[in-house]
Amino acid sequence: MKLSELRPNPGATKRKKRVGRGPSSGHGKTATRGHKGQKSRSGGTKNPAKHEGGRSTLLMRLPKRGMQGQVPGALPRTVYEVVNLKDLARKFPEGGEITPEALVEARLVRRKLPVKLLATGEVSAAYTVRVHAASKAAIAKIEAAGGKVELIAKGA
């Protein structure tokens, strides 16, 4: 027996009903949809969970709570790539200057987003870190180890 000789058992498969292919097909003209009405039209079905025959839908009748979306004119929040001090100590054990480009090369950040430095972990080497944002605790730990943190301006 070969793969090309494999066939389904007799009666296991059924031909697809081909509707709307002319009168000789047995499913021509109205294509098994009946005459007129909403269900005979293309796109003429409603989601029964939402459609209530003209009555106001359940979703509209329920009270609304919480934030319904962003306030018009509000500034969108800044999304940061987060780097912890323990990651710096692991990838840059000898210290030195660390920039967002160096963090991308070290695979600590993936995307081209602003970078924020957080204080999880300890550092022993002196780093000069250039990031877009940093927590106060992270800045204190870097400066205690003899390094410094330079914040990059938002547009840069």
Q: Which CATH number does the domain housing residue 110 bear? A: 3.100.10.10
Its pTM stands at: 0.52
The verdict on residue 102 lying in a domain is yes
> What's the domain range around 98?
81-151
Q: What are the C-alpha distances in Å from 80 to residues 60, 131, 133, 134?
A: 37, 10, 8, 10
Examine residue 43 and state whether it is found in any structural domain, yes or no: no
In whole angstroms, what is the distance from residue 57 CA to residue 44 CA? 18
Q: Record the tokens describing residue 83, joined without a space.
A: 């780097």
Residue 62 lies in a domain: no
pLDDT in tens, the chain (156 residues): 899 999 999 999 998 889 889 988 889 899 889 999 888 888 888 777 778 888 888 888 999 888 777 677 677 778 889 999 898 888 888 878 888 888 888 888 887 789 999 988 888 888 899 999 999 999 999 999 888 899 988 765
pLDDT, position 139: 92
Q: Is residue 89 part of a domain?
A: yes
Number of folded domains in the chain?
1
